[in-house]
Amino acid sequence: MKNDLVLVGGAGGFIGGHLVATLLKEGRTRIRAVDKKPLTDWWQKHPGVENLSLDLQDLGACRTAVAGAGEVYNLAADMGGMGFIENNKALCMLSVLINTHLLMSARKFGVRRFFFASSACVYAADKQLAEQNVPLSESDAYPAMPEDGYGWEKLFSERMCRHFREDFGLQARVARYHNVYGPHGTWTGGREKAPAAVCRKVIEAKLSGRNQIEIWGSGRLTRSFTYIDDCLKGTQMILASDVEDAINLGSDESVTIDGLVDIVEQIAGLSLTRRYDRSAPKGVNGRNSDNTMIMSRLGWAPSVRLRDGMEKTYQWIYDQMVNGRTHGAAAGLTRA
CB-neighbour burial class of residue 133 (10 A; exposed 0-12, middle 13-18, buried 19+): middle
Helix (H) or strand (E) holding 160: helix 150-168
> What value, to the nearest 5°, has the Cα angle with vertex 51 and ends 48 and 54?
165
- Contact call for residues 281 and 317 (beta carbons, < 8 A): no
- Contact call for residues 227 and 235 (beta carbons, < 8 A): no
- Contact call for residues 63 and 81 (beta carbons, < 8 A): no
Give one DSSP letter per residue of 73-123, joined into a string. EE---S--SHHHHTT-HHHHHTTHHHHHHHHHHHHHHT-SEEEEEEEGGGS
Count Cβ atoms below 10 Å from residue 138 Cβ, excluding itself.
18
Residue 123 is among the residues annotated as catalytic for this protein: no
Among residues 150, 177, 181, 318, the one annotated as catalytic is 150
Instruction: Name the DSSP class of 261.
Output: H
Does residue 263 sit in helix, strand or coil?
A: helix
CA proximity to 227, closest of 185, 261, 279, 257: 185
Q: What φ, ψ does residue 182 adopt, rounded to 5°?
A: 150, -175
CA proximity to 314, closest of 179, 203, 190: 203
Give one DSSP letter per residue of 28-75, joined into a string. ---EEEEESS-GGG-S---TTSEEEE--TTSHHHHHHHHTTEEEEEE-
Residues with active-site annotation: 150
